[in-house]
Structure 1
Amino acid sequence: MEKVKERKRRNTKQKAIIYQVVLESKDHPTAEKVYERAKKELPSISLGTVYRVLKELSSEGKVREIIVDKQSHFEGRTDFHHHFICRECGRIEDVETPLCRYTCKKIEDKGYVVEDIEYKFYGLCKRCAQKLGREDR
């Protein structure tokens, strides 16, 4: 049983390529997008391998999984930040906001141990708002 655990956690060429694809992506790709990009580097890779490795990288804390509308997206950025999701084009953008840090501190001051926070803001990205004539509300 111990050898199975060791084999599961080993670093493989597939894992390295998948990790690199996620780190280089700025668009929070789905597993399918990661697969398409990794396949350019390693044509023999399977979609199943991509799913398995992304799950492993996520459990190791090396990548973050963001679920939007029951669809998993991945990013290499694992520090404290949030996301804005455009309801029109589906674009996911990173968001920095001190208010979220303030809220977390207030909760921790009450003795809670916060391990993770995930805020998602939904609306229209700048491009879609301009396209739809809704820049200023």
Structure 2
Amino acid sequence: MAMDTIGKADMKYTNQRVEIIAFLREHKGHPTVDEVYDGVRKKLTRISKATVYKNLKFLSEKGLLEEVNVKGVTRFEANFVPHHHLICRECGKMEDFKSEELFDYSMKIAEEIEGFNIDSMSTNFYGICKKCKEENING
């Protein structure tokens, strides 16, 4: 996300918001509020967790971040390349899963829905990750 994207979102350009977005762009996973706070605090040492949380919510509402809830934990990402998620029911690990075929098929179905203009979608797949599966077999 380029800095000019922030201006397009019709919002105040603050150092905290820029650092939060920069952290999320560099962090390829799906960090929690605590993980974002720990990362951003390295550059903005005086920032509070409440400020990080409020800005994450604000940026999500503006469409600059995606908020995903897994096992009661809110995670954030700034990856807007169409993708889906693989979510482990055991450990809560979340991975991106890209499938243009699934995306194209879903958007084709979305075009047929009347009275609702769909511009994006994502699918979550739930199961057991390889690590948890191996631990269950060996444990």
Q: TM-score, normalised by structure 2?
A: 0.79
Identity of aligned residues (%): 37
Alpha-carbon distance between aligned partners in 2 of 1:77 and 1:126, rounded to the nearest angstrom: 24
Structure 2: stretches of 5+ with no match in the other structure? 1-9
2:94 aligns with 92
For residue 31 of structure 2, the aligned residue among 17, 29, 32 is 29
* Contact kept? 1:66, 1:73, Cα under 8 Å: yes
Greater Cα offset, 62-71 or 45-54: 62-71
Superposed, 1:1-137 pairs within 5 Å as 9-97=11-99, 98-111=101-114, 112-133=116-137
Give the counterpart letter for 1:86 in structure 2.
Answer: C
Alpha-carbon distance between aligned partners in 2 of 1:125 and 1:88, rounded to the nearest angstrom: 8
Greater Cα offset, 122-131 or 51-60: 122-131
Greater Cα offset, 123-132 or 44-53: 123-132
Per the TM alignment, residue 16 of structure 1 is displaced from its structure 2 partner at its CA by 1.2
Greater Cα offset, 116-125 or 43-52: 116-125
Greater Cα offset, 95-104 or 77-86: 95-104
Give the counterpart letter for 2:120 in structure 1.
Answer: D
Alpha-carbon distance between aligned partners in 1 of 2:113 and 2:20, rounded to the nearest angstrom: 40
Per the TM alignment, residue 56 of structure 1 is displaced from its structure 2 partner at its CA by 1.8
Alpha-carbon distance between aligned partners in 1 of 2:68 and 2:87, rounded to the nearest angstrom: 11
Structure 1: stretches of 5+ with no match in the other structure? 1-7
Per the TM alignment, residue 41 of structure 1 is displaced from its structure 2 partner at its CA by 1.4
Alpha-carbon distance between aligned partners in 2 of 1:16 and 1:130, rounded to the nearest angstrom: 40
Q: TM-score, normalised by structure 1?
A: 0.80
Give the alignment's Cα RMSD to 1 decimal.
Answer: 2.2
